[in-house]
Structure 1
Amino acid sequence: MEGNRVLIFAGGNIDPKFLKDIRQDDMIIGADRGALFLVEHGISPDISVGDFDSVSPQELDHIKNNSKEIIACDAVNKDLTDTELAFDLAIERHAADIVMIGVLGSRLDHTLSNIQMMLRGMQHQINSAIWDTNNYVTLTGTSCEVEDRGYTYVSLLPLTPEVTGIHLEGFMYPLENATLKMGQSLAISNRLTDRKGTVRIESGLLLIIQSKD
């Protein structure tokens, strides 16, 4: 399964409709309670990983009985979140793309950690994204094609102190050779004017966030 897409299901809120997007050649990783979500919806994860401190002993047995592989770790002595453990596995299995589902929620620390995790994907030449009902988040250091995924807005936020040479094509509010600095809201709530748009930058790292209320 090397070089394929890896879907990571974590323990946040997940709409079952996302299961319809699973492809036959995807690798499926369930992180802690995300593994329970999968098996409860008839999906057998390729790997279930975590300390499983958010599931009952009966639920853990259900996960073990319906997963192709289990990687359990100690809840006290581990250094990584369950999502990062899953992300590391995806990197080790040479994923071409990683999509994280159920990783945005009420814990801002976990949310920011998961967003920053996409940096590690980029360092390994892996495309990564975060996907939920209200958001689709990607990261670019060069250029990115933005597809209309049914979200209302497209916002750009620098993940480095400065992003330069920003060019937008196919957007309601185009930019040409623009610069964004952390703390600026210049590129919030833009919109696509067609089914696809293009974002190009010359330096820095740029978050592309498609969102809706």
Structure 2
Amino acid sequence: METQLNVLVTGASRGIGRSICDRLAQDGYTVTGIARTRPADWPDAMPFYTVDLAERDAVKKTLAEIAARAPYYGLVNNVGFVPTGRLEDVDTTELYKAVALNLEVNILCAQALLPGMRALGRGRIINIGSRAALGKPARTLYSTTKAGINGMTRTWALELAADGITVNAIAPGPIATEFFRDANDAQNEATRKLLAGIPVGRIGQPEDVAHAVAYFMDERCGFVTGQTHYVCGGITIGAA
């Protein structure tokens, strides 16, 4: 692989995002992380930008700084917000935060890095969605915005194909992260049923998602675009 291929990962500080950063760095990419908080153990040699990704103006300013450093070959839109609640309990004020973190920041990042990708003549955009886009109880706002990622991915893929830029989505199922534990009570019967129904017999790990990202990021993966890839242990098939 050509050296010095720059990749930006949002929501990079923990969980799936951190695992993606570690994997891509191991694969030889020059990884830049962006999130609200820099981890204490973040490598000094790996650039990191601290910003609240729900704050539009601050995000735009930070992205301008990042894009000015060098052209970026890859973008992983990983940051997300998981509001929960059944329909009768949904707080619609949370809709705007969900749109900001699950959709708008993806657009802002892609807009900022697109000129550099076009200058390189190639690029990879990977949007992290969710199996919940197919429907999940108590996830009205989350599933709505994550379903939007699928449509966004397909549209961008069509618009950017002629530029040598592929755009794909990864939709994880149950992954052992803080997000999952916060949104799924381990004592809840629905959570126990969900985990017991995973066909491969285990919950997913952040590394499982990172591996899928590495596939889509590879320069040899230039003939795959506009796809949503489920990393779900077979639960999507089982639900069908």
TM over 0.5: no
| Larger relative helix fraction | 2
| Larger relative strand fraction | 1
TM-score bracket relative to the smaller structure? 0.3 to 0.5
TM-score with structure 1 length normalisation? 0.43
TM-score with structure 2 length normalisation? 0.39
